Structures are given as C-alpha cells and as structure tokens.
Amino acid sequence: MADEETLQEDSVEELAVPPSDDADVEVEAEEGAPAVAELDPETRARRDAALRHVRKLGDPVLRATAVPVEHFDGALKQEVERMTELMHDALGIGLAATQLGILHRVLVYHAIPEDPVTALVNPVLEWASEESESAEEGCLSLPGVHVEVERPASVRVRALDETGEELQIEAEGLTARVIQHEIDHLDGVLILDRISREARKEAMRAMREAAEGEQHHVGRERGDSANGARPGGDGPAAAPAADAPAPAADAPAADTSAA
C-alpha cells in the first residue's frame, strides 16, 4: 500500500471537491456514453447531484475496512437500490458502499450494458489468474484522476446477493477489473495505492487541477468576479457547498459506522 503520509500530504486540499467535467466514472464510462460536456442539462444535473453523495479522497471512511453484512432485510435491499440509482445517475459502472459512507461489504456493478446490475454482498475473492492486464482506471472518489492499473485478467468471486442467496461469479476483462476495483474500496484500498509514487504525484496534480478548473467554471456561471465579489454586489460571493449532498427527502443519513 502507498505511503500514507505521502497520500495525506498530497490530499490536504481534496476534502471538498466539486463535480467537474473531469470527474471520472467508476473505473470507466459505460460503453457509448457521451462525454460529460455533451450531456443534456437534466442528465448533467442528475450526475452532479449523485456525485455529491460520493465521499472523496481525504474522507477517512475511504480508508476504513467494511464489515460483513449480517442482516438481509428490507433495509439492505433499499441500500442496494440506492447504490444502483446513484451509480447510474453518476454514469458509473460500479460503486462500493464505503464510497457513500456506509461500512458494509456491499458493491454493485454494471460493466456490460446488456447485463443486469449485480449486487455482491460480503464478496470474497477466491481465485485470480496469473495472467494480468494493465488498463486505465478512474474513480468516483478521485475526480480527474486516470491511471494505469495492473490487475489479474480473470477472477472468481464468492458472495451473496441482497436476499442472502449464494453467488459464484467468474469474470474476465472489464467485469473482472470492476469487481476488483470495488472490492479494493471495501478493504480501504484506492487505485493510488496500486501505482508508483511518481504516478501518484501526477494523479494528485490532475485532481487539484480538475477541482480548480471546476471552481473557476462555477464562479463564471454564477457571475462572480475574479476577487469573489458579484458584479454590482457589495461583498464576496458565498462559496458553493461543493461537498454537500443534494437534497433528497427519502435518502437515508450516512451511517458513519459503515462505508
């Protein structure tokens, strides 16, 4: 795992990162999905709202180890449904519960458009191939970061679904990569931990630039001047609450005992 002091030093400014044109989907975009800049206003607004629920680098919960789920009830089904909805709205193809501040060993993924969404509860990686592949990955919790990550090309995973039924998943290619990426999240591991120190520094610069670019873009949209004062106004403009969740009456409060 990467040197924690290095990551903490590099991520001091990353506690409140607004959604941006460079904010990546989990692992990579759905096949055929349009670029963020090409999204219609409604889809863009829904995406930005979903991303505000996702914890970003610097949040301690992303370094926590999720605990096994013991109760397979209506609350768990609602949790999976909410994760699935946020994953789709964010235009992602995978999401781990820890990214929403919930310390449950739960993940959802939808790597192949023709396949249904799959939820894995208490997943265990039983086998991984000796053959490995390197491919670019992004992360909803690391806006603007895209790095080459080497992983086993094929895996076999044992898990339960949201009803408690046993599952055994054999996956390869993109699906295997997504599953491994999300299991890493459940163990407090980020893609930054799987790359070199120099590549990590480059990734942190990209994340800062994405945040700064979005803050500048938001300021222009709101009519803020360079010194933070609204044209014709008497004082500085209020900073947008970039890391605040979008209002959602039916959204459960984040469980700080889980991620």
Residues designated catalytic: 182
Strand, helix or coil for residue 136: strand
Contacts of 238 (CB under 8 A, 6+ apart): none
Q: How many CB atoms lie within 10 A of CB 216?
A: 12
Which of 185, 147, 140, 136 is closest to 48 using CA atoms?
140
Strand ranges in the chain using DSSP code E only, listed in sequence order: 94-96, 106-109, 118-128, 132-137, 147-152, 154-160, 166-172
Partnered with residue 128 across adjacent β-strands are 155
Token look-up 């999401």 returns: 95
Contacts of 69 (CB under 8 A, 6+ apart): 76, 104, 105, 106, 121, 122, 160
Euclidean distance between CA atoms 214 and 160, whole angstroms:
39
Euclidean distance between CA atoms 39 and 187, whole angstroms:
33
Contacts of 129 (CB under 8 A, 6+ apart): 152, 153, 154, 155
